[in-house]
Amino acid sequence: MRNYDLEFLKHFSMVIGFLMLVTLGLIAGAFYLHGTIPPEVSPVAAKQTEARIAPAGAVYAGATGAAAQAAAQAAALAAASAQQAYGGTLDGGVIYQNLCGACHTNGVGKAPTLTAAGFGARAAKGKDTLYKHAIEGFTGPDGGVMPPKGGNPGLTEEQIHATVDWMLANVK
């Protein structure tokens, strides 16, 4: 080997060694910073994780358990009533205006209008049949479609009964 080749290898090895030291220093610095900076947690992600790992049930034992069970049942009842359609109202007019009137006012989807001609034949079948069709849904022979519970599964049977009664009382 020539002298200038040895000089080049010596300088090149020193540059490579220096770059390796810089790389190791950067890796060590990254590990240090990773350990000292707290992870950023999104509040939405934290709530989703808590909901995902929440217990599916609870155990109630003794007097304390009975009180906790009663409180849990009351909370479940309150949550269920809050999810009832239209605040659980039994005013058929309110439910008709908010839901049923969209189809039954103009005859959309071949829905009968609140007229003697529209509801005459249907009213003759009796209230029980109308209740059943309103709750379970119905496809008429003319192709008219009544979705179950008017398309709102949050309606209770009592609300549907009140609305059907209101509609029959307001047939013109």
Residue that has been written with the tokens 């119905």 in this structure: 138
| Statement: residue 78 has pLDDT above 90 | no
Residue 11 pLDDT: 94
**Residue ranges of domains in the chain:** 1-35, 86-169
Topology, domain 86-169: Cytochrome Bc1 Complex; Chain D, domain 2 (1.10.760)
Residue 27 pLDDT: 97
Helix (H, G, I), strand (E, B), or coil: what is residue 154? coil
> pTM (2 decimals)?
0.52
**How many helices (DSSP H) and strands (DSSP E) are in the chain?**
8, 2
Residue closest to 172 by CA, chosen among 123, 116, 126: 116
| Statement: residue 172 has pLDDT above 80 | no
- Rounded to the nearest 10 degrees, the angle between the axes of helix 127-136 and helix 116-124 is 100
Residue 17 pLDDT: 97
Residue that has been written with the tokens 């220096």 in this structure: 18
- The pLDDT tens digits of the residues spanning 99-108 come to 888 888 888 8
Whole-angstrom distance, CA of residue 55 vs CA of residue 42: 22
| Statement: residue 81 has pLDDT above 70 | no
Confidence band, pLDDT 50/70/90 cuts, at residue 83: low
Confidence band, pLDDT 50/70/90 cuts, at residue 22: very high
Residue that has been written with the tokens 């790389």 in this structure: 23
Q: Which sign does the torsion angle of CA 98, 99, 104, 106 carry? A: positive
| Statement: residue 131 has pLDDT above 70 | yes
Mean pLDDT, rounded, for 111-124: 81
Whole-angstrom distance, CA of residue 131 vs CA of residue 36: 66
